Amino acid sequence: MRTQIDLTPLYRSVVGFDRLAGLLEAATKADAPNGYPPYNIETVGDNAYRIELAVAGFKPEELAVDVKENVLTVVGHKSANDDAKRYLHRGLAARNFERRFQLADYVVVTDANLADGLLTLSLRRELPESLKPRRIEIATAAPAAPAIEGDAKAA
């Protein structure tokens, strides 16, 4: 049983956090995931991440990786060529799937690799130069040159 959370007070008291509130609201309304395909998310550096999906039996042409509006979508569409096969037991899942991941701002997918039944996606947070910390040099005023007394009398 899911409990519905009312985020109305949050909308009334914060400005500029509407995207965060929208993510929280979407997370509470989302249906329970089916768990297929299983996946891992790991951090491999300060600004680098890796997602591994277990997609055994899928060929590269049966998989699609798309990013649109900070949503990473991995779709697997298994072609139906099992008509000639007669299984006594079928334990390997070979069904279509769609798995979505919400990406933070400035996170980009840099690489996708399929090996040994694992689809590995490499991600990196690439902050624009304007958002990176920088040091501002502090200038000091040059001391004023001392006045020469002889020049003042000559004038």
HSE, side-chain direction, 13 A CA sphere, residue 117:
8
- Its domain, for residue 74, covers 34-127
Q: Decide: 103 and 113 in contact? Cβ < 8 Å.
A: no
- Structure confidence by residue, pLDDT tens digits, 110-148: 999 999 999 999 999 998 888 788 888 898 887 777 767
Whether residue 24 is found in the same domain as residue 43? no
Asked if residue 80 and residue 25 are part of one domain, the reply reads no
Q: Is residue 18 domain-shared with residue 46, that is, in the same domain? A: no
Q: Record the tokens describing residue 64, joined without a space.
A: 């699609």
Q: Give residue-wise pLDDT tens across range 99-116.
A: 999 898 899 999 999 999
Buried b (16+ CB within 10 A) or exposed e, 135-148: eeeeeeeeeeeeee
Question: Residue 93's domain is classified under what CATH number?
Answer: 2.60.40.790
How far apart are the C-alpha atoms of 79 and 72, rounded to whole Å?
23
